[in-house]
Structure 1
Amino acid sequence: MSTIDEQRDVKLKEIICEILELEEDEVTETSLFNEDHGADSLRAIEILASLEKEFGVVIDQSEMARMVNVKGVREVVGEAAGW
């Protein structure tokens, strides 16, 4: 993984953890935001909006169904940003 990829991953996780009010070590690649961390749909929308702003992308709300964990978020943002 390149340094740029690592920086993106760090920023993704920072945004997610800040909105979910969790420590970074509490969130794994596959831990589910809703089931494991009690996130509601409003938090999911906040994550989506923050990611769009941070990475300068537009993500269709239909993609939220895939954005259930860090791995899914990375895939969706990566596709929108062309990574």
Structure 2
Amino acid sequence: MSVTTAARDERLVAIKAIVCDILEIEEDEVSEVSLFKEDHDADSLRAIEILAALEKEFGIVINQTELPRMVNLKGVYEVVSEPAGW
């Protein structure tokens, strides 16, 4: 496993923990592509909570216009990676 793969996995674990905590679901219930709204009953308020928690955790600013991309873990990772410079 390369350093970048390990770093990505580590970040994904942190993101997943935040998302699961806010959505009040078990980590094994969410996959990288399961949809927050459709599969886990998330609402727009939860999405904003996730965005705020990610900003705090990673010390970044995420524009709220990115919320439509944050539909699953893969999308969240991509949104977070841009301002974080990953």
- TM-score interval for Structure 1 and Structure 2 normalised by the shorter chain: over 0.9
- TM-score, length-normalised on structure 1? 0.95
d(CA) in 2 for partners of 1:68, 1:29: 10
Alignment RMSD (CA, Å): 0.9
- TM-score, length-normalised on structure 2? 0.92
Describe how 1:44-83 pairs up with structure 2 within 5 A: 44-83=47-86
Aligned residues: 83
d(CA) in 2 for partners of 1:70, 1:8: 11
Pair 1:22 & 2:20 matched: no
Task: Give % identity.
Answer: 66
d(CA) in 2 for partners of 1:74, 1:8: 8
5+ residue gaps, structure 1? none
5+ residue gaps, structure 2? none
d(CA) in 1 for partners of 2:48, 2:5: 29
Summarize deviations over 1:54-78 as a string: whole Å, max 9, x none. Answer: 0000000000000000000000000
d(CA) in 2 for partners of 1:2, 1:36: 27
